[in-house]
Amino acid sequence: MLTNVLATLTRGLALSLLAVVAFLGGVTATQLWPVHTQTDYLAADVSLTPALDSTARLPMVVGDVVVTFDGPLPAPGLRARPSVRQEVTELLPGRRADTSRLQPGREELREAIDGGVRQVAWTYTLGALLSSLLVLLTYAVARPHHLARVAAAAAAATVMALVGPGTAAYLAYRTENVTAFRATSLLSLVQTNTGVLADLAGRADHGAIYVTNLLALSDAMRQEFTPTSGQAQPAATFLLVSDVHGMNQYPLMRQVVASERVDAVIDLGGLLNFGQPREGVLTGIYEGIESLGVPYIYVRGNHDAASPGDESVLRRLSRVPNVLPVEPTAGQFVRVEVNGVSVSGFNDARYYNERNEDFGAAQEQLAARFRTVTEGLQPTDLVIAHQPYSVRRVQAGSARLSGHMHSPSLDRGHIQVSSFTGGGLVNQFRLPPLTEQARTADEEEPETAGELQGHPYSFDVLRFAEDCSIMSITRYSYRNLASGKPQYDDITVIDGRRIQPDPPDGRTCGPALGVKTRPLLASGDDPDHTTGPLGTSGP
């Protein structure tokens, strides 16, 4: 009995190993003989990768397009290497290289994708079958009387290698399963400037035509696979920033507000460096905030006070017409509504240069106070605080927002925003370490001089749908901000379902609701307040 069991386990293990060999052989076949698919002016060589990450990658010379899917099973990765077809040169002599000619249509793109996937499946199948046969025929050379068993084992291993990855790919690679669309380097410009294609097409020189072609492909892929493609206009759009740290880059922020049609900015604290209001006066930050022309929802961070209980920065910000602090003074909480989306939060208790070994206890106390004050109330859609440690300990209707860490992260119910200025001017420059030779010559090391390559500059754009659920979050990162020449490096569009899987019931949001503020504990019997220049209520 035991012998039979061991024999069965041995055969099962051998068959499983053979299925893995077949899988790797099929993937290798698609890489050795990639499938060629094309549109009128674009072509791509498509293959599989052994990584079970359900991700399609399109590497290009001007950046990459990465589309991530979320299926019930991990599927083999897809890789497509796009190129410009020779036929595109026919457009050059007559200057007919406009965007509408270059960008593939939705049906054309879908036909190319479907055809390529089918051919990849056939190539993979043949590669898997040949790999398992090769291994088993090698075995059969020593045991020629096992040919029938070899054929059966090869067929079984190939079926296993097809059914598992094939089912996973079939279930994962669907438009409705897209969780993120990412474009890097030059391709990300398509996301940040809708006129970039027309600008490049207007030049139409021999170099720009190829760049335009690849940008057009990226834009077509974005329209096909962006999680929110085809949906209505957002009901409310928020620009999320954090940790400006005394660096006046509000002219750039103003461009973002205009280009992304932002309804309100949410600043998660860390506005200054040393907790002194005059820092903002010297750098023009307060005028920069006012110049945005939209509500500026603010929560204080640990660098925005100089001592325990110091509220001088809050008082200075209260003189800026469009600033809406969620906690204008200690213990006084405000509910802000933008197009029906509600925001509340609480200030950080920490201050600049604080000496305290137990920061966690203070953050827990802040969260406990907020929970006590809001007990029995319907949670606001967004709850904001500077530090993730505290905000994770309170409830929100849609998401909790924090900054402080200078690095972005995302999980269900929590959005951590990175630094809009890479941590500010103070954190971006320093005297580099010198070699003995440089120290003797009183010179700076050229390799380490200038701006540090540390935290990237980044911000998020959070969009809400008409049912008051999170539609999407778009994460931008960029560089060269301190030199005054910002350049986008990476843009990722993330489906709002990753943050808020279940939309609220029976609610409607939209611009008609405007911007309102009221005490967080107000009963709501008197929602009409005296409105200011931006439609916000008086203090």
| E-strand stretches of 314-377 | 323-325, 334-338, 341-345
For the cut 70, the answer to whether the pLDDT of residue 95 exceeds it is no
* Contact criterion met (CB below 8 Å) for 46 and 112: no
Taking residues 336-349, report their average pLDDT.
97
Q: Which two tokens stand for residue 538?
A: 């008086």
pLDDT of residue 374: 93
pLDDT of residue 131: 83
333 Cβ neighbours under 8 A, 6+ residues apart: 326, 327, 344, 345, 346, 370, 373, 374, 519, 520, 521
Taking residues 253-282, report their average pLDDT.
92
110 Cβ neighbours under 8 A, 6+ residues apart: 224
Please give the C-alpha separations between residue 487 and each of 148, 252, 482, in angstroms, as whole numbers.
63, 11, 11
pLDDT of residue 159: 82
pLDDT of residue 194: 45
Tens of pLDDT, residue by residue over 299-334, are 999 999 999 999 999 999 999 999 999 999 999 999
pTM of the model: 0.72
* Contact criterion met (CB below 8 Å) for 91 and 97: yes
Band of pLDDT at residue 342, cut at 50, 70 and 90 = very high
- Residue 154: strand, helix, or coil: helix
pLDDT of residue 207: 41
Q: Exposed (0-12), middle (13-18) or buried (19+): which is 363, by Cβ within 10 Å?
A: buried
Taking residues 257-282, report their average pLDDT.
93
For the cut 50, the answer to whether the pLDDT of residue 211 exceeds it is no
pLDDT of residue 438: 47
Taking residues 141-167, report their average pLDDT.
73
Where is mean pLDDT largest: 314-318, 458-462, 472-476, 533-537?
Answer: 314-318
For the cut 90, the answer to whether the pLDDT of residue 337 exceeds it is yes
508 Cβ neighbours under 8 A, 6+ residues apart: 340, 466, 467, 468
pLDDT of residue 453: 45
Position 263, amino acid: D
Please give the C-alpha separations between residue 112 and each of 31, 41, 210, 341, 421, in angstroms, as whole numbers.
19, 12, 20, 41, 41
pLDDT of residue 525: 39
pLDDT of residue 295: 98
**Mean pLDDT computed over every residue of the chain:** 78
pLDDT of residue 452: 42
Tens of pLDDT, residue by residue over 414-466, are 999 999 888 876 665 444 444 455 444 444 444 434 444 456 788 999 999 99
For the cut 60, the answer to whether the pLDDT of residue 267 exceeds it is yes
Please give the C-alpha separations between residue 516 and each of 258, 320, 462, in angstroms, as whole numbers.
21, 17, 19
pLDDT of residue 491: 78
Higher pLDDT, 238 or 41: 238
Taking residues 97-122, report their average pLDDT.
73
What percentage of the chain has pLDDT greater than the value 90? 35
Q: Which two tokens stand for residue 432?
A: 């580099």
Please give the C-alpha separations between residue 143 and each of 103, 137, 138, in angstroms, as whole numbers.
58, 9, 9
Helix axes 147-172, 106-142, angle to 10 degrees: 160
Q: What angle do CA 250, 254, 260 make, to 5 degrees?
A: 135
pLDDT of residue 502: 85
Largest CA distance in the chain: 94
Please give the C-alpha separations between residue 1 and each of 182, 325, 352, in angstroms, as whole numbers.
56, 75, 74
Taking residues 1-23, report their average pLDDT.
71
- Residue ranges of domains in the chain: 2-225, 236-432+452-519
pLDDT of residue 143: 64
533 Cβ neighbours under 8 A, 6+ residues apart: 321, 322
Q: Which two tokens stand for residue 170?
A: 């079939």
Domain 236-432+452-519 belongs in CATH node 3.30.70.80: no
Band of pLDDT at residue 224, cut at 50, 70 and 90 = low
Tens of pLDDT, residue by residue over 112-137, are 877 888 888 889 889 888 887 787 77
Taking residues 51-56, report their average pLDDT.
89
Tens of pLDDT, residue by residue over 497-515, are 889 988 888 899 999 999 9
> DSSP H helical segments within 35-183, as ranges?
99-102, 106-142, 147-172
Position 201, amino acid: A
Q: Exposed (0-12), middle (13-18) or buried (19+): which is 319, by Cβ within 10 Å?
A: exposed
Higher pLDDT, 184 or 188: 184
Q: Which of 67, 43, 385, 64 is nearest to 242 (CA)?
A: 385
For the cut 60, the answer to whether the pLDDT of residue 519 exceeds it is yes
pLDDT of residue 486: 55
* Contact criterion met (CB below 8 Å) for 532 and 293: no
